[in-house]
């Protein structure tokens, strides 16, 4: 999965930017959500939210993308070595 896919999964969790979740918590929330719903269900939920609440979607997705990039950055560095 790429960062965009992981951000969609994170978007569907109960984590909030105001929670200031750690990288470990972001990864755990994504893992838990994938076990519960799978990536296709998450993508469908995100699409529904984008249509129903576009004013909230952009800010939350931006946070989700930033959180995923921070949470998985060390993994990318190790893979490149």
Q: What is the pLDDT of residues 4-52, one digit of tens each?
A: 999 999 999 999 999 999 999 999 999 999 999 887 888 888 999 999 9
Handedness of CA 20, 22, 23, 27 (dihedral sign): negative
Query: How many domains would you assign to the chain?
Result: 1
Whether residue 79 has pLDDT greater than 70: no
Whether residue 74 has pLDDT greater than 90: no
Provide the domain limits for residue 26: 3-12+21-80
Helices 3-11 & 39-52 angle (0-180, nearest 10) = 70
Looking at per-residue pLDDT, the higher value among 80 and 15 belongs to 15
Q: How far is CA 69 from CA 36, 46, 48, 54, 62, in A?
A: 22, 18, 24, 22, 11
Which pLDDT score, from 0 to 100, does residue 77 have?
Answer: 47
Which pLDDT score, from 0 to 100, does residue 75 have?
Answer: 60
């Amino acid at each position: 999965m790429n960062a965009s896919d992981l951000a969609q999964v994170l978007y569907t969790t109960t984590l909030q930017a105001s929670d200031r979740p750690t990288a470990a918590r972001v990864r755990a929330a994504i893992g838990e959500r994938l076990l519960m719903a799978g990536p296709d269900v998450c993508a469908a939920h995100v699409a529904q939210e984008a249509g129903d609440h576009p004013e909230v979607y952009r800010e939350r997705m931006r946070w989700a993308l930033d959180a995923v990039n921070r949470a998985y950055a060390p993994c990318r560095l190790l893979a490149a070595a």
